[in-house]
Amino acid sequence: MEGKNVTVEADVSDGLPGLILVGYLASEVREGGDRVRTAIKNLGLSLPPKKITINLSPADFRKEGTGFDLAIAAAILSAYGGFRAKDLKDAVLFGELGLDGTVRGIPGVMALTDQARESGFKRVFLPVENVNEASVIGGMELYGIRDLRHLLEVLSGKLPMQAESTINMDELQNSMNRYEVDFSELSGQPLLRRAAEVAAAGKHNLLIVGPAGAGKTMLAKRMPTIMPGLDIAESIEISKIYSVSHLLTAKEPLIRIRPFRAPHHTVSVQALTGGGRRPKPGEISLATGGILFLDEFPEFSRAALETLRQPLEEREVTVSRVEASVTYPANFQLVAAMNPCPCGHFPDRSRCRCTDGQITRYLQKVSGPMLDRIDICVEAAPITYGDIKSSGNNESSREIRARVEQARKIQRERFAGENVRCNGEMSGRHIRKFCGLGREEEKFMEEIFEKLALSARMHDRILKVARTTADLAEEEKIRLADLCEAVSYVKSRDKFWGN
Ligand SMILES: [Zn+2]
């Protein structure tokens, strides 16, 4: 996510009194002029009636949002001689003004501050509410501004310039990766647990098919806890997306755990992918670095599922609009869950009352191309008495995460200099290069290929997943056991959809 620098200049002359704003502005930016004028008046400052022209440059792109108010106000006050504009040379200003002069928080402050820092600015004047969020970026002097009078007093030197930051970065870093849930709370279900671990280790998308009460949602919620720990750099990148969505607060200015987003199946395409008149990131962007969980997978609209396909490949999403388009990160891992049939009991024919037609129609709602983006398909069985009895000696998230991190380390080294980072992201070329087989393994795959009538895609998917299970075992070569496990995930898909 990138920003652009905008210079705001004011010119005061003796023409017909009035306020004109120019520079390819959206209506809410233009209205900022009125907000500023009213706020100045309500502060009891009387400005002699003059012709004021405000220019926002460069003029080659459209300026949107209410964040320009503070800069416009500063430009006007400076043009009237309230202070010297050159004092603001190394500074940026952003914030929305209320009619009473209060400075209100705006979305996207983290990305804006980062952009200012990269552009060589040293100081930021911004809403008090946004100071903590901006201070996460580091390396900038931040001035939290309460209202317009406060701004004037600071800029005219009546109040001492004092930078503030209430964030203790050490404390924030120490409080990262603390989850309220843990894998040890899951009872039994060894196959499901294993599939989750493999999915997390290789960043493979995961589909869980099973009846209600099999612990599908419980497992999905705990996926972030076994993914590699968040470091501060990744945490800031994720937080920027939440900043744009105005979801950070002064108390919680940093996303400290991997996101888990679980939109309901009635979610609109726009809420899922992002958009709107002032485009906001959607669920798939908010799930960046974490899990996008789609429960009742076939119940999502065809349109919603189709829009996921491209982001799943490209790890970002472009939101098109009338004026321009915006690209947001959408680097999420997909976990989908569904019942095997409308009633949920198939293939247990003693309980399932669905007709074959009903089951087929239900399963066909998930398209082949969508299934092709999911490497691991696993069946969840109803929880048994044995499962419940076995709870208490289940592995914790911390233990599983240690193995996942080790497997990721192997992958980072393998893919150094490549455009992918995990086995789940490998393309055909990577698979040829990194998933070579021994003679015995090759023979096994040949047999399986014939026996299961595999497609080329499924063959590749088996190799990708086998690469991950070998990495989890810290084995350099893919073994027969790895291939067998990977084939079992393809068979689960086969059972419901065929290939
Ligand atoms: Zn049924």
Dihedral sign, Cα of residue 387, residue 388, residue 389, residue 390:
positive
Does any domain span residue 438?
no
The H or E element containing residue 31 is: helix 27-42
Reported confidence tier of residue 486, pLDDT bands at 50, 70, 90: very high
Question: Cα(378) to centroid of ligand 1, in Å?
Answer: 18
Same domain, 137 and 241: no
Question: Cα(117) to centroid of ligand 1, in Å?
Answer: 58
Same domain, 13 and 160: yes
Same domain, 206 and 139: no
Does any domain span residue 432?
no
Does any domain span residue 117?
yes
Question: Cα(356) to centroid of ligand 1, in Å?
Answer: 9
Residue 19's contacts (CB-CB under 8 Å, 6 or more residues apart) are: 33, 34, 37, 52, 54
Encode pLDDT of 45-102 as tens digits.
Answer: 778 888 999 999 998 888 888 899 999 999 988 888 877 777 788 999 999 999 899 9
pLDDT at residue 49 in the model = 86
Same domain, 248 and 117: no
Question: Cα(362) to centroid of ligand 1, in Å?
Answer: 10
Per cent of the chain over pLDDT 70 is 97
Question: Cα(344) to centroid of ligand 1, in Å?
Answer: 5
CB 245 within 8 A of CB 286: yes
415: Cα within 13 Å, side-chain hemisphere: 22
Question: Cα(495) to centroid of ligand 1, in Å?
Answer: 15
Same domain, 81 and 202: no
Same domain, 198 and 86: no
Question: Cα(354) to centroid of ligand 1, in Å?
Answer: 4
Distance CA 404, CA 215 (A): 21
Question: Cα(350) to centroid of ligand 1, in Å?
Answer: 10
Does any domain span residue 469?
no
Does any domain span residue 382?
yes
Question: Cα(339) to centroid of ligand 1, in Å?
Answer: 9
Reported confidence tier of residue 393, pLDDT bands at 50, 70, 90: low
Centre a 10 Å sphere on the Cβ of residue 246 and count the other Cβ atoms it contains: 15
Per cent of the chain over pLDDT 90 is 63
Does any domain span residue 273?
yes
Question: Cα(363) to centroid of ligand 1, in Å?
Answer: 11
Residue finishing a domain among 333, 362, 391: 391
CATH of the domain at 263: 3.40.50.300
Residue 258's contacts (CB-CB under 8 Å, 6 or more residues apart) are: 224, 227, 230, 289, 290, 291
The H or E element containing residue 194 is: helix 190-202
Same domain, 320 and 359: yes
Question: Cα(212) to centroid of ligand 1, in Å?
Answer: 12
Same domain, 81 and 187: no
pLDDT at residue 499 in the model = 58
pLDDT at residue 166 in the model = 66
Question: Cα(251) to centroid of ligand 1, in Å?
Answer: 47
pLDDT at 165 over 70: no
Same domain, 193 and 329: yes
pLDDT at residue 433 in the model = 95
Does any domain span residue 486?
no
Reported confidence tier of residue 494, pLDDT bands at 50, 70, 90: confident
Q: In which domain, by residue range, is 377 found?
A: 183-391
The H or E element containing residue 444 is: helix 439-451
Question: Cα(314) to centroid of ligand 1, in Å?
Answer: 36
Does any domain span residue 462?
no
Residue finishing a domain among 358, 391, 424: 391
CATH of the domain at 145: 3.30.230.10
Same domain, 367 and 219: yes
Distance CA 227, CA 203 (A): 9
Same domain, 263 and 343: yes
DSSP, collapsed to helix, strand or coil, labels residue 144 as strand
Question: Cα(265) to centroid of ligand 1, in Å?
Answer: 20
CB 274 within 8 A of CB 317: yes
Centre a 10 Å sphere on the Cβ of residue 323 and count the other Cβ atoms it contains: 10
Question: Cα(105) to centroid of ligand 1, in Å?
Answer: 51
Number of compact structural domains in the chain: 2
pLDDT at residue 357 in the model = 93
Q: Residues 424-443: what's their mean pLDDT? A: 96
Same domain, 132 and 248: no
pLDDT at 279 over 90: no
Encode pLDDT of 267-276 as tens digits.
Answer: 999 999 998 8
Encode pLDDT of 401-417 as tens digits.
Answer: 999 999 999 999 999 99
Residue finishing a domain among 132, 167, 202: 167
Question: Cα(377) to centroid of ligand 1, in Å?
Answer: 19
> What is the distance of C-alpha 430 from the center of its chain?
26
